[in-house]
Structure 1
Amino acid sequence: MPTPVAERVQKRRAALRAAGLRPIQIWVPDTRRPGFADECRRQAQTVAQADSHDREMMDFLDAALLDLDDET
């Protein structure tokens, strides 16, 4: 006989399947791993540096920001 928790999980999964969904397993970076924050910072700096040299991108971002201001 399943435990009440197992029954709830089973019921929830059945409802999700009935809604047309299916379970998947994904692997994501371990944010607790030593060096994770440093690597994030390094990648962010690399992207920011590349973007700062892309005038077209900066113009696009400025226009998007102005568009957001117009909606308030």
Structure 2
Amino acid sequence: MDKKVDKPAKSKRPAAAGGASEPRSTGAERVRRHREKMRAMGLKPVTLWVPDVDTPEFQEQIARAVEVINADEESLRVLEGMLELGDFSDWQ
């Protein structure tokens, strides 16, 4: 539920002298137009947070998962079957 607000939200940009707003940069204008176009298509912007793969904790977690997979005989059979089915002739 949206609350009614008595005063407008403050802008993060400093006000220009004389009370006029600053003209947008061409990059900002291009982004605004792109976002409008995407919204017109029924889409909305979403921020996705993903793991930082450079952290030691993440790398340790991946190493443990790889060890578990490599130690499982059934996983190795599945992997070998997948490799047999794959066409790698155009790989360089």
| TM-score (norm. length: structure 1) | 0.69
Provide the residue aligned with 1:44 in structure 2. 62
| Structure 2, unpaired ranges of 5+ | 1-22
Map of 1:1-72 to 2, 5 A cutoff? 1-30=23-52, 36=55, 38-69=56-87, 72=89
Cα 1:43–1:67 shift into 2, 3 Å: same
Partner Cα distance (2:30, 2:39) in 1: 14
Cα 1:31–1:53 shift into 2, 3 Å: closer
Cα 1:15–1:5 shift into 2, 3 Å: same
Task: Select the structure with the greater relative contact order (CA < 8 A; seq sep ≥ 6).
Answer: 1
| Structure 1, unpaired ranges of 5+ | none
RMSD across aligned C-alpha pairs, in angstroms?
2.3
Query: Relative to total residues, which structure has the larger helix share, 1 or 2?
Result: 1
Partner Cα distance (1:31, 1:48) in 2: 15
Larger radius of gyration between Structure 1 and Structure 2: 2
**Paired letter, 1:3:** S
| TM-score (norm. length: structure 2) | 0.57
Stretches (4+) displaced over 6 A: none
Aligned length, in residue pairs? 67
Q: Secondary structure at the match of 1:11?
A: helix
